[in-house]
Amino acid sequence: MANVSTSLAPSREDFAAMLDASFGDNDALEGSVIKGKVVAIEKDMAVIDVGLKTEGRVALKEFMGPGRDQVLVVGDEVEVYLERIENALGEAVISRDKARREESWVKLEKAFEAKEKVEGVIFNQVKGGFTVDLDGAVAFLPRSQVDIRPIRDVSPLMGVPQPFEILKMDRRRGNIVVSRRTVLEESRAEQRHEIVGKLEEGQVIEGTVKNITDYGAFVDLGGIDGLLHVTDIAWRRVNHPSEVLNIGQTVRVRIVKINHETHRISLGMKQLLDDPWQGIEAKYPLNARFHGRVTNITDYGAFVELEPGIEGLIHVSEMSWTKKNVHPGKIVASSQEVDVQVLEVDPVKRRISLGLKQTLQNPWEAFAEKFPKGSVVEGEVKNKTEFGLFIGLDGDVDGMVHLSDLDWKRPGEQVIEEYKKGDMVQAQVLDVDIEKERISLGIKQLGSDPFATAGAAKTPEEGGEMRKGSVVTCEVLEVKEGGLEVQIIGTDLTTFIKRNELARDRGDQRPDRFSVGQKVDARITVFDRKARKVSVSIKALEMAEEKEAIAQFGSADSGATLGDILGTALKARENADKKPGSK
């Protein structure tokens, strides 16, 4: 019996093996979530039996947190995270926070994969954003993902359970990034889609002015905003929406256009009123004159309101007869009342071209009436150019004296140097071109034309007018190496006798034979009124006289010398001069 009983009792080795086997099964539970039972509440700690013949302690605060308050009592069953079965004190090391975090990560990963919303509570502010409790797991909420529009005060959102969307998860690092904004955008998109589906183009509804910008106003249509562009507020020009609208104001608008893809709605107020452009051509016929008010001034002209909703443009070229290249603001002022003339009406493009200068007398017409062709005017030299002088005249117009009309005798390029800006000069009106807005003047026309008077001048020969072949008497004005500068006596004409035209004989072709003031006879070789050119020659006269003498007093075969013939001719002329009644 003794031997039998001894064989039935477990040995020390058997007991150790059984204990290790028992603990081995329990060791597999470490690092997992298990259920336990609250067996006692001691101050701020809960004593929990985890069913492993051991108990653990968990701080009561771990059962509390943002958006949840769990009051524990003895007998409650709770889930905890088992870190170690037994510590140095013989107690299990357990955690409610880690248990909740493990549960949350599993649920969050499923929600992230399914792109589902999760509920969380914003409980703290950190650099760049906020922290969110997702039922035990802590996530980061960037500031840009809090709301659709930037908000200054986030305190009303703190501690309030609300939906979030998980943007990013990294379990290894323990990082979760969430967004509240995407949830709001999705919700708003659904709401907008529902509201837009009930609206129709052309529908008239009421809305509230929510915001005003430079280009228009946003109107709340009951959950969705529509844009009321500044050009659709009124038919007349509105420089800024604040001139007509105020934030919070209730307005009646017509839905002009709906974009169902972007949910953008265009609104109009002026569309509720009659279009003033209907029948515009009959209301504003061409060349009719109207009274209006300047509403806007630009670099290219000024807009004039003819009636509410109807504006026309005075182009800068139609503002003044005489002021060219001047900014319109120097001719008219904003809000100024002006008379205008209709130049063009385009009902399709909704444009009216107006003229301001057409309501005033054309200064070139006025000048032509006051100073007909041939009149003498006086004005100030405004400008000198390479082709003439510009003279300021009555009526704020300019006339031009061309170089060729400065002087009868001298070239214009030389004469123009004698004039300077500011000089007062007289001139004769040569022509007025009203259409081209040009006035031609002449200064030389105030004096007589030497060629006109020369044409009627008598030559020393009896009878006959000055023409080619006529004999004239000239006075030497200047002796030059190349010839003589002379003036034809009885005229204002001057000309130059070249050296080879001073005598028939080469030996007598010396300018030094003559002196200033000396009078000499010469024959006209060129007289062209159109080209304003006259040339004389002493040589031609001598050759003509020689030819005439030979014809009258000798012949080539008479045997008389040329000197004898000329002497006879001269003697005959002297006898003729001595006869009574001879000059």
The mean per-residue pLDDT over the stretch 326-338 comes to 93
Distance in angstroms (rounded) separating the CA atoms of residues 136 and 533: 117
**Single-letter code of the amino acid located at 372:** P
Per-residue confidence (pLDDT) for residue 556, from 0 to 100:
47
- Look-up of token digits 């379990």: 171
Nearest C-alpha neighbor of 575 from the set 553, 557, 555, 556: 553
Among 62, 52, 60, which Cα is nearest to 90's?
Answer: 52
| Surface-to-core class of residue 309, CB atoms within 10 Å of its CB (0-12 exposed, 13-18 middle, 19+ buried) | middle
Q: Any idea how long the chain is?
A: 583
Strand 310-315 to strand 351-355: parallel, antiparallel, or no bridges (unpaired)? parallel
What average pLDDT score do residues 283-307 get? 94
In this structure, is the dihedral angle defined by the CA atoms of residues 113, 115, 116 and 120, taken in order, positive or negative? Answer: positive
Mean pLDDT confidence for 147-176: 87
For every residue of 239-261, DSSP letters joined together read S-GGGT--TT-EEEEEEEEEETT
pLDDT at 198: 80
Residue 27 pLDDT greater than 60, yes or no? no
475 or 451, which is more confident? Answer: 475
CATH of 199-272, one of 3.40.50.1370, 3.30.70.1230, 1.10.10.10, 2.40.50.140: 2.40.50.140
Q: Is the pLDDT of residue 560 over 60?
A: no
Give the residue among 370, 365, 431, 366 at the shortest CA–CA distance from 401.
431
CA angle 428–429–435, rounded 5-degree value? 165
Q: Which CATH fold topology does 115-185 show?
A: OB fold (Dihydrolipoamide Acetyltransferase, E2P) (2.40.50)
Selection from 83-97, 128-142, 340-354, 519-533 with the highest mean pLDDT:
340-354
**CATH of segment(s) 450-569:** 2.40.50.140
Predicted pLDDT at 105: 77
Query: Strand, coil or helix: what is 487?
Result: strand
Across 213-358, the runs of DSSP E, i.e. the strands, are 216-220, 225-229, 250-259, 264-268, 289-298, 301-307, 310-315, 337-346, 351-355
| CA–CA dist 295, 277 (Å, integer) | 18
The structure tokens listed for 299 are 């670099």
Our CA angle for 198, 199, 204, nearest 5°, is 135
CATH 2.40.50.140 domain extents, the chain = 26-100, 115-185, 199-272, 280-359, 363-446, 450-569
Q: Which two tokens stand for residue 350?
A: 């909704």
User: Which helix (DSSP H) or strand (DSSP E) does residue 166 occupy?
Assistant: strand 162-170
**Cα 449 to Cα 493: distance, rounded to the nearest angstrom:** 9
79: part of which helix (H) or strand (E)?
A: strand 77-84
Tell me, yes or no, if the pTM score tops 0.85: no
Convert the pLDDT of each residue in 498-539 to its tens digit. 999 999 888 888 999 999 999 999 999 988 877 778 899 999
The answer regarding whether domain 280-359 maps to CATH 2.40.50.140 reads yes
Q: Is 363-446 a domain of CATH 3.90.1150.10?
A: no
Q: Please report, as a single letter, which amino acid is at residue 470.
A: S
Q: Is residue 421 within 8 Å of residue 382, measured between CB atoms?
A: yes
Token couple for 182: 């995407």
**223-247 mean pLDDT:** 89
Please count the other Cβ atoms lying within 10 Å of the Cβ belonging to residue 110: 11
Q: Which fold has domain 26-100?
A: OB fold (Dihydrolipoamide Acetyltransferase, E2P) (2.40.50)
Q: How confident is the model at residue 7 (pLDDT cuts 50, 70, 90)?
A: very low
pLDDT band at residue 136 under the 50/70/90 scheme: confident
The burial class, CB within 10 Å (0-12 / 13-18 / 19+), for 534 is: buried
